[in-house]
Amino acid sequence: MPNSRSLGALVAIQLAVSAASLVVEIVAGRMLAPYVGMSLYTWTAVIAVVLAGFSAGHWWGGRIAGRAPAAALRRTGWIILAAATTTALAGVLLAGIAGPVLASIGHPVLAIVTLAGLVFFLPSFFAGVPAPVLAQIAVAAEPAEQSGRALGALFAAGAAGAIAGVLMAGFVFISWLGSSGTLVVVTLVYGATALGCFALSRPGLNAAPVLAALAISGAALASLMVPGQCDRESRYFCIRTLDVSADADQPVRMMVLDHLVHGMSARDLPGVMFTDHAAMLDALARLRAPRSDFTSFFLGGGTYSIPRAFAMRGAGPVTVAEIDPAVTETAVRDFWFDPAPARVLHEDARRALLTRPDRYDVVIGDAFTDIAVPAHLITREFFELVQARLEPGGSYLMNVIDFEDRLEALGAVTRTLSEVFEVVEVWTIAAPPEPGARMVFVIAAGDAPTPADSFAVPSPDRTVFGALDGRFVDEVMARGTLILTDDYAPIDRLLGPGG
């Protein structure tokens, strides 16, 4: 039966449950990324679902707290075992339902919220139950004059556990154990805290909860045997390499980061780009460069296909700012990139430009992916920094993805660039788009126009690309007066459903 000497044990249980539940919240975003990407929408959905679960759990816990302390603790122990069970099964459940959910819900934001809710609401709900139960028991077990101290200790333990859980998930568990391994640790922690509740509720501990805890722990460990989505799970991405070769003697590979293809390369065709945006960036860089051995800076590496092609052609020093060392390692191992001729900086591209005074003939940005775009790489302030790092006559090239029937993101980025650069061109494939199609553009910005209004290059089939007519570009920019700044860059809204 809990007494005043049990306060330390109650605080420890609350600390552990709170830490474990916040680890699950951080892991949830990482686990959803291979299916829906990592965006503002993903994190908004995860946080909302987890908070909803905690709220409902606190409400139910408040009802349980009205029971006799021993009975309430026993009930709470079983509920924590339910948290362990739903946590252990989260990866398996996500893999099983992601495809049907995403296929049946056309609205991407609704799909993200639904998927997050189906997988992560119950673990959060069960994890929210213990707090009011433990607080009530702690207050009741202390003398009246000490009840405030007990309540404060429980609240402090909850906050401290949350902080510890976030830090451990982000800086230790995910990068060392991966998402599945992290959930195993959480399951084991829940099992231990559940046994603590049972032990506090009665002098002796019967076999049933022990066996349940052992069974759940075994299920969690067994989940590690289920094949994961990632070849490697880094601090930033779920990384996969896919072989798409038509001929095993002429390998072609594709890199997938989270849920999107980030590039393709062929071992025997280093000068051929396999995506439209890479083909345009490669060709425009050479068309606009002042000489054949031009210097270049890349925002992101991916498969390093263009740096590899530049090196093959004898272009000047290449600098690549790739924030994830694991991506670079994958490019070296699987995509035939030789890092020796390049300078690779494993840091944020904006910081790399800000902290180094080097100047370049060409700066190439590949920030756009899906509805996840680093906002700090598309603002007026960033474009001013890029301009300051360009040699006289230098060019900035960046890809933009938008929808044919909207072009709001394209208009905002183009208008913002025109605030900084004298000449801004928009390039795309020279073919009529399908209505509402997702289109890939490359914007070229500098102080002079490109010395051609079209070109044909392999992508991998020979493809013609052209610059959009200036009047059409003006019409696109006229769709809104938005200038993207560090203070206000709503790119998620511009790219997201409904604009």
* % pLDDT > 90, the chain: 63
For residue 152, the model assigns a pLDDT of 92
The residue to which tokens 């399908």 are assigned: 434
Q: In which element (H, E) is residue 239 found? A: strand 238-243
Dihedral Cα 369, 373, 377, 381, nearest 10 deg: 140
Please say whether the beta carbons of 279 and 459 come within 8 A: yes
Residue with tokens 């102080």: 447
Largest CA distance in the chain: 86
Q: How far apart are CA 29 and CA 27, in angstroms?
A: 5
- Per-residue pLDDT tens digits for 143-184: 777 788 889 999 999 999 999 999 999 888 887 888 888 988
Write down the pLDDT at residue 205. 59
Indicate if the pLDDT at residue 44 is higher than 80: yes
pLDDT digits (tens, 9 = 90+) for 415-458: 999 999 999 999 999 998 888 888 999 999 999 999 999 999 99
Question: What SS3 class is residue 364?
Answer: strand
Res 218 pLDDT > 90 = no
pLDDT tens readout for residues 461-491? 999 999 999 888 988 888 767 899 999 988 8
**Which domains occur in the chain, in start order?**
4-229 (1.20.1250.20), 238-495 (3.40.50.150)
Mean residue pLDDT across the chain: 89
181-197 as b/e: b if 16+ CB within 10 A: bbbbbbbbbbbbbbbbb
pLDDT for 306-348, tens place per residue?
999 999 998 989 999 999 999 999 999 999 999 998 999 999 9
Strand partners, 243: 253
The predicted pLDDT at position 495 comes to 78
DSSP string, 79-109: HHHHHHHHHHTHHHHHHHHHHHHHHH--SHH
Query: Mean pLDDT over residues 354-364, rounded?
Result: 96
The rounded distance, in Å, linking the Cα atoms of 221 and 212 is 14
pTM attached to this predicted model: 0.81
What is the distance between the alpha carbons of residues 287 and 452, in angstroms, rounded to a whole number? 8
Question: What residue ranges in 322-461 does DSSP mark as E strands?
Answer: 342-345, 360-365, 390-403, 423-429, 438-446, 454-458
Map tokens 């052209």 to a residue: 466
